[in-house]
Structure 1
Amino acid sequence: MVHLLADPGALPGQAPPLPGGAREGRAGPDRRHHANAVLVGGGAGLATLTGLAVLPVRRWRTPAVHAATSRSDRAVLPLLAAVLLAGLTATATTLEAHPYDYRHGVSVWFRSLLTLEPDVPALAAAPPARR
């Protein structure tokens, strides 16, 4: 899979951004891409938040599940909630188009993870809400 992500002209350890033509051909105009990301990402986040809210109720009300609940289970739920709320906050604070294009920063960092050579400067340059 790594060879599919590699760009022969890229420096080692750096995943290049998608070429503008490839990005535009797939995602359409930036406005449509942004609206789709907010609607789909926000909807998925709200569905996940609903599911996360059901988990503790089930653990408290179902005796077999309550008996099988460990300390780590209790510790993980608040961590999952924190990560989820951070993502929903980032989505909610970007309802309008923002000058930062994550496809040239955070997206490059994420693709560099797949090559097992993280591009830390790409993520460090991102605004805090998008890290």
Structure 2
Amino acid sequence: MNMFDQLLWVIFPYACLMIFVVGHIFRYRHDQFSWTAKSSEFIEKKQLMFGSLLFHLGIIPVIFGHVSGLLIPKSWMAAMGVSEHIYHIGAVYIGGIFGAMTLIGMLLLTSRRFTIRNVRRLSSASDLIVNVLLLFIVFMGMYATLFTNAVQPTFDYRESISVWFRGLFLLRPDASLMHNVPMSFKIHALTGFAIFAFWPFTRLVHVWSVPLNYVGRSYILYRRHKSN
């Protein structure tokens, strides 16, 4: 293990998480008016609707899959009766279906943002970067899940990546665990942390603004103005 490994698998993740936390606090305290996502629905609706629907229906199960795979130790899964075969089916096949939905959704949304002139003009540089980065992250996740696992079936990320990931939060980082990890998984992990560093400075902050008060809020009534 050398200094480069420490930089990639210890210093870089901690730096991204620090920027994520401090960046959110700073933006919320000093720039609350930008805590939103500019709507472009009035420019184009069809591609936005299908892309957004597929992305959101896919990304939520994908996130839960990452949480269970990274945070729950392999031994705990076995103790709960989840065998290696059942976990593999869930991770590859079920995860692959939702991953494909997420990827198609991101392809539609990214294509829309770059190819429709008025949508592109409404977009900031950070919007374009986030779209491309999210698309790349999802693509690499699909590639690692479907192709790398098929080429290297003996590789089990729960014995390396998951242990390394949990070690970061337990303040016991071990960069050596990532040494023999396939490159596709490494790229997916690094770009995943990179999006956390970008997060506070982009439209992604609107994820935290869940409009729960809308449930009990009275309807807004619009009345025609009677001119004299």
* Fold in common (TM above 0.5): yes
Q: How does 1:43-58 map to 2 (within 5 A)?
A: 43-58=97-112
- Aligned equivalents of 1:83, 1:23: Cα separation in 2: 26
Q: 1:31 aligned to 75, 85, 97, which one?
A: 85
Taking only the aligned residue pairs, the percentage that are identical comes to: 31
Kept after mapping to 2: 8 A contact 1:38/1:95: no
Q: In the alignment, which residue of structure 1 is the partner of 2:174?
A: 119
Q: Deviations for 1:14-50, whole angstroms, at most 9, x for unmatched residues?
A: xxx9473x33123522111111101232122111112
- Aligned equivalents of 1:96, 1:34: Cα separation in 2: 15
Secondary structure at the aligned position of 1:126 is classed as coil
Consecutive unaligned residues of structure 1, counting only runs of 5 or more, are 1-16
Q: In the alignment, which residue of structure 1 is the partner of 2:133?
A: 79
User: Paired residues, what number?
Assistant: 113
Consecutive unaligned residues of structure 2, counting only runs of 5 or more, are 1-71, 187-228
1:57–1:72 Cα change, 3 Å:
same
1:106–1:57 Cα change, 3 Å:
closer
Q: How does 1:56-95 map to 2 (within 5 A)?
A: 56-59=110-113, 61=116, 63=118, 65-93=119-147, 94-95=149-150
Higher mean Cα deviation, 120-129 or 85-94? 120-129
Question: Aligned-pair RMSD on alpha carbons?
Answer: 2.7
Supply the AA of the counterpart residue of 1:98.
P
1:62–1:127 Cα change, 3 Å:
closer
Supply the AA of the counterpart residue of 2:145.
T
- Aligned equivalents of 1:84, 1:27: Cα separation in 2: 30
Tell me by how many angstroms 1:102 deviates. Answer: 1.7
- Aligned equivalents of 1:57, 1:130: Cα separation in 2: 25
- Aligned equivalents of 2:153, 2:80: Cα separation in 1: 20
Kept after mapping to 2: 8 A contact 1:49/1:84: yes
Kept after mapping to 2: 8 A contact 1:109/1:122: yes
Q: 1:104 aligned to 126, 138, 159, which one?
A: 159
Kept after mapping to 1: 8 A contact 2:110/2:132: no
Kept after mapping to 2: 8 A contact 1:38/1:91: yes
More helix by share: 2
Supply the AA of the counterpart residue of 1:23.
M
- Aligned equivalents of 1:46, 1:130: Cα separation in 2: 17
Tell me by how many angstroms 1:120 deviates. Answer: 1.1
Tell me by how many angstroms 1:96 deviates. Answer: 7.9
